[in-house]
Amino acid sequence: MVTIEINGQQVEAEQGQMLIEAADKAGIAIPRFCYHKNLSISASCRMCLVEVEKAPKPMPACATPVADGMVVNTQSTYALAAQKSVMEFLLINHPLDCPVCDQGGECDLQEFSIGYGDDKSRYAEIKRVVKDKNIGPLVATELTRCIHCTRCVRFGQEIAGMRELGATGRGDWMEIGTYISKSVDSELSGNIIDLCPVGALTSKVSRFTYRVWELASNDSISAHDCVGSNCNVQTKNGEIKRVIARENDAINDAWISDRDRYSFEGLQSDERLTTPMIKKEGKWAEASWDDALQFAVNGLKDIDDKTQIGAICSPSASTEEMYLLQKMMRGIGSNNIDHRLRQSDFSAQDQDPVFPGLGMSVADISAQQAVLVIGSNVRKEQPIMGHQLRQASLNGANISFVNPVDFDFNFNVAHAFTIAPSHIFKELKVLAKATLENSLSAAPGGLAALVSSVKVTDEHKQCITELSEADNSVVMLGTLIQAMPNYASIRMLASYIADATNSTLSYLSPGANTAGAYLSGLLPNRTHVSQATSTNTDGLNTQAMLNANLKAYLLYGIEAERDLDKPVQAVNALNNAQFVVSLSAFVTDAIKAHSDVILPVAAMTESSGTLINAAGSWQSFTAVSKAKGLSKPGWKVLRVMGNLFNIGGFDYQSSEDVINELKSEGQSETSKSSNQISWMCPENISAQTSDVQRIAELPIYNVDAVTRRATALQQTQDAQVDCARINSALAKKLKLEESQPVTAKQGDNTADVTISIDDRITDNCVYLPAGNVAASSLGGGFDAIELLSKS
């Protein structure tokens, strides 16, 4: 520590710290534009010039390291003269369009001009005008307003890992742009709006629809992946106008993904359900809440065998909703409760941890030195996890992947084992063998025999050595692997590798609240009070419920043809059921087709609740926007249903009552996941199939009903996934060409798609994502598939 003096005040600072950081910490305000604590220092705006004793010139506080005994004045005549001259320079070419500028009211330039600007301009020349660029559907540019702080450029280079924006031209003709006209496609691109100190970069989605001072600012939690990014949802008259990042160094630093920022647009969709609806004699009619609730409850009561009722819930519902849903189901006598929508291998579900999580904080990922990710396009699945992995990589970590597609990552990949889904188990055997050869401990029972026939390459060895030599290392199971048919066996080997290399076994989980689902007992095989490994219930999982053609289903936040694996089969099961209750924020013809009653449930931001992220952080949020029409928060709907079923203990006054009950009966906030799995040697499955196999990633903007309806996100490059991707070898074998229309066929199910040739896809595989329109008429995500050219 060193002591410096700022404006006569003694300030403690850390060695090597910049002056501006020390001042910020001491609460001494220094104006700045280019400086941002999460970005590199550029020292170019010169707004933070201060007087430093003995320095021959005013010094930029952002780039001047503190030194013991340094005497600084940020407000002396000398310092002010420098700051004011910089302000004047910044203003001479800045347009005076504050009244029509979206940044007006929260503009750093506007704000500092009050303190450092003059009320009259001495500049009488022509002002610079810069042509705007179209950089895609998310970010609007008004580059005449740009003050060249280059925060957006540095963000792209340093955080997003894509140098999409840069400064071209010299002098006052310098401008920000993409050089060659193109869109900015990073999954984190919207953060440049938060970073831009002026109105040069604004949100294309919400601009011109509000003035900043009209907005109510509400802290909230992002609900589209297991990160639980902290955000701030801003509303005007109860309607969401924008979502911006809220700083949390343990989770999302100062960033949120574009999905978290722009999904809210889906809430304004025409498909929002605004009133309860009942189907009587094949005809749909609007209904009162009382009638609809009674209708729903009566319909379920009519099923004598309550084990013929199954509840399937979105993994992105709030913990309160999940808890009440399972409590209600168990109360009426059914354990058929699940949230695992795309999982197909449940054989080891009793070995699942308390909740599948990271086993560390989100930010801890950036401190890992070696990471092996199995089955994940993490950058698009959980963009902030991707960001943390990138930070780890920049810190020198070796990050390796076992994946069916050679996905594009924005960091260096140490080893990419790109292999067809059916061969991933074998690949894990190879890695397990490399681990065994590297390990000093004896092989667990059966492992040596299991891996005896596989051959270890140097690359496998190196990957394992990196894991075992690192102080902090992690073996991470992605959502792709969790959806694969032999997930249990793969996980067993992954767990062994993690164990033997002293790495943490981590899970990236689907949806926003898989952890909440586990902890609240939204599972067929355990309740919220169960211990992780004991089976005390005997319900059906999602697949089994749909295979069993139950008499009644309750769908919570589910669009069956989009959200479930084997959608055709799932929809058939629903169509054939005697009674289907849908609790949903949206209504579509598809939902109407298989439901008997639809209850409008408020969307996440319209209700209070709690999300538990993959790190096990319980994050509660309040309702920030008006529920659409007559829709009600899910926990209230379930409360009434519980009471109508005459199940005791449903008299909650608030969502806090619900979460408090869960906390008092079940897992506490401090329960952290130990992901270790006790060894049981997996069966040796050999992948001897010549079938072409499908790879069904859930694309970034297809993850949930809200995101799918966010129109701007659907226009991005990342959303353009309506095609079947195959590599050139398979294209040659099947005699298919780029853009050729084909019929994709899985059993009796078919879909018309076009071919895209993409050599990142492994041999003999078709990348045909889940969750989109084409996929809804197809079968299992990792089942065999045929491509038939249309004559």
Partner 1 sequence: MANEVCFRTLHLDEPWTLESYLSVGGYQSLKKILTEKIPADDIIEQLKISALRGRGGAGFPTGLKWSFMPRQTEGQKYIVCNSDEGEPGTCKDRDILRYNPHQLIEGMAIAGYCIGADTGYNYIRGEFWEPYSRFDNALKEAREAGYLGDKLFGTDFNFELHSHLGGGAYVCGEETALLESIEGKKGQPRFKPPFPAGFGLYGKPTTINNTETLASVPVIVEKGGQWFLEHGKPDNGGTKIFAVSGNVKRPGNYEIDMGTPFSELLEMCGGMKDGYKLKAVIPGGSSSPVIPGDQMMDVTMDYDGIQAAGSMLGSGAVIILDDKVCMVNALARLSHFYQEESCGQCTPCREGTGWLSRIMHRIEHGHGKQEDLDLLDKVAGDIMGRTICALGEAASMPVKGFLKHYRDEFQYHIDHKKCMVGAGSK
Sign of the torsion angle spanned by Cα atoms 557, 563, 568, 573? negative
The reply to whether 49 sits near partner 1 by the rule CB under 8 A is: yes
- Provide the β-strand partners of residue 619: 611
What is the pairing mode between strands 71-73 and 618-621?
unpaired
Concatenate the DSSP letters of all residues of 484-499 into one string: STTHHHHHHHHHHHHH
Structure-token pair, residue 294:
């009674």
CB 185 within 8 Å of CB 162? yes
Q: What is the DSSP letter of 169?
A: S
User: Which stretch, 55-63, 131-139, 201-209, 767-775, contacts partner 1 (CB under 8 A)?
Assistant: 55-63
The reply to whether 173 sits near partner 1 by the rule CB under 8 A is: yes
User: Quick one: 179 or 408, whose CB is closer to partner 1?
Assistant: 179
The reply to whether 154 sits near partner 1 by the rule CB under 8 A is: no
H or E element in which residue 28 lies: none
Structure-token pair, residue 507:
């899970």
| Helix, strand, coil content of the chain in percent (nearest 5) | 30, 20, 50
User: Which stretch, 8-16, 163-171, 351-359, 581-589, contacts partner 1 (CB under 8 A)?
Assistant: 163-171
The reply to whether 90 sits near partner 1 by the rule CB under 8 A is: yes
H or E element in which residue 161 lies: none
Structure-token pair, residue 738:
């780029």
User: Quick one: 167 or 367, whose CB is closer to partner 1?
Assistant: 167
**Whole-Å CA distances, 234 to 212, 244, 250:** 9, 8, 23
User: Which stretch, 161-169, 372-380, 565-573, 760-768, contacts partner 1 (CB under 8 A)?
Assistant: 161-169
Q: Alpha helices, DSSP H only, in 69-107?
A: 77-92
Residue from 17, 74, 93, 631 in contact with partner 1 (CB under 8 A): 93
Number of residues that bind partner 1 (CB under 8 A): 37
CB 733 within 8 Å of CB 778? no
Residue from 19, 28, 45, 267 in contact with partner 1 (CB under 8 A): 45
The reply to whether 213 sits near partner 1 by the rule CB under 8 A is: no
**54: Cβ contacts below 8 Å, ≥ 6 apart:** none
Question: In terms of Cα–Cα distance, which of 399, 410, 367 is closest to 189?
Answer: 410
User: Quick one: 144 or 727, whose CB is closer to partner 1?
Assistant: 144
CB 58 within 8 Å of CB 75? no
User: Quick one: 9 or 123, whose CB is closer to partner 1?
Assistant: 123
The reply to whether 167 sits near partner 1 by the rule CB under 8 A is: yes
List phi, psi (to 5°) of 203: -80, 125
User: Quick one: 16 or 629, whose CB is closer to partner 1?
Assistant: 16
Binding mask 414-433 toward partner 1 (x if CB under 8 A, else -) reads: --------------------
The reply to whether 174 sits near partner 1 by the rule CB under 8 A is: yes
User: Quick one: 130 or 287, whose CB is closer to partner 1?
Assistant: 130
The reply to whether 96 sits near partner 1 by the rule CB under 8 A is: no
- The nearest distance, CB 88 to partner 1, in angstroms, is 7
The reply to whether 166 sits near partner 1 by the rule CB under 8 A is: yes
User: Quick one: 108 or 338, whose CB is closer to partner 1?
Assistant: 108
- The nearest distance, CB 239 to partner 1, in angstroms, is 39
Residue from 54, 120, 122, 131 in contact with partner 1 (CB under 8 A): 122
- Provide the β-strand partners of residue 761: 405
User: Quick one: 166 or 446, whose CB is closer to partner 1?
Assistant: 166
User: Which stretch, 120-128, 197-205, 622-630, 697-705, contacts partner 1 (CB under 8 A)?
Assistant: 120-128
Give the Cα separation of 785 and 749 in Å (integer). Answer: 10
Give the Cα separation of 76 and 433 in Å (integer). Answer: 68
User: Which stretch, 38-46, 321-329, 600-608, 741-749, contacts partner 1 (CB under 8 A)?
Assistant: 38-46
- The nearest distance, CB 27 to partner 1, in angstroms, is 26
CB 773 within 8 Å of CB 729? no
The reply to whether 162 sits near partner 1 by the rule CB under 8 A is: no
- The nearest distance, CB 44 to partner 1, in angstroms, is 5
From the centroid of its chain, how far is CA 459? 31
Helices then strands, each counted (H, E), the chain: 25, 32
The reply to whether 63 sits near partner 1 by the rule CB under 8 A is: yes
The reply to whether 92 sits near partner 1 by the rule CB under 8 A is: yes
List the beta strands (DSSP E) in 298-342: 309-313, 337-338
Give the Cα separation of 220 and 228 in Å (integer). Answer: 10
Question: In terms of Cα–Cα distance, which of 33, 62, 39 is closest to 158?
Answer: 39
- The nearest distance, CB 64 to partner 1, in angstroms, is 9
The reply to whether 131 sits near partner 1 by the rule CB under 8 A is: no
**342: Cβ contacts below 8 Å, ≥ 6 apart:** 479, 482, 483, 510, 564, 565, 698, 770, 781
User: Which stretch, 78-86, 187-195, 273-281, 453-461, contacts partner 1 (CB under 8 A)?
Assistant: 78-86
Residue type at 232 in one-letter notation: N
User: Quick one: 171 or 396, whose CB is closer to partner 1?
Assistant: 171
User: Quick one: 93 or 220, whose CB is closer to partner 1?
Assistant: 93
Residue from 1, 10, 57, 653 in contact with partner 1 (CB under 8 A): 57
**144: Cβ contacts below 8 Å, ≥ 6 apart:** 95, 127, 128, 129, 130, 132, 200
Give the Cα separation of 604 and 582 in Å (integer). Answer: 17
List phi, psi (to 5°) of 273: -90, 125
**Whole-Å CA distances, 540 to 308, 406, 494:** 10, 35, 26
Structure-token pair, residue 290:
């009382």
The reply to whether 78 sits near partner 1 by the rule CB under 8 A is: no
The reply to whether 179 sits near partner 1 by the rule CB under 8 A is: no
H or E element in which residue 110 lies: helix 108-116
User: Quick one: 126 or 440, whose CB is closer to partner 1?
Assistant: 126
Residue from 7, 38, 44, 274 in contact with partner 1 (CB under 8 A): 44
- The nearest distance, CB 83 to partner 1, in angstroms, is 10
User: Quick one: 127 or 211, whose CB is closer to partner 1?
Assistant: 127
Binding mask 697-736 toward partner 1 (x if CB under 8 A, else -) reads: ----------------------------------------
Residue from 85, 274, 671, 743 in contact with partner 1 (CB under 8 A): 85
- The nearest distance, CB 56 to partner 1, in angstroms, is 8
Binding mask 585-624 toward partner 1 (x if CB under 8 A, else -) reads: ----------------------------------------
- Provide the β-strand partners of residue 620: 610
Residue from 47, 193, 325, 574 in contact with partner 1 (CB under 8 A): 47
Residues at the interface with partner 1 (CB under 8 A): 41-47, 49, 56-58, 60, 63, 82, 85-86, 88-90, 92-93, 122-126, 128, 147-148, 166-167, 169-174
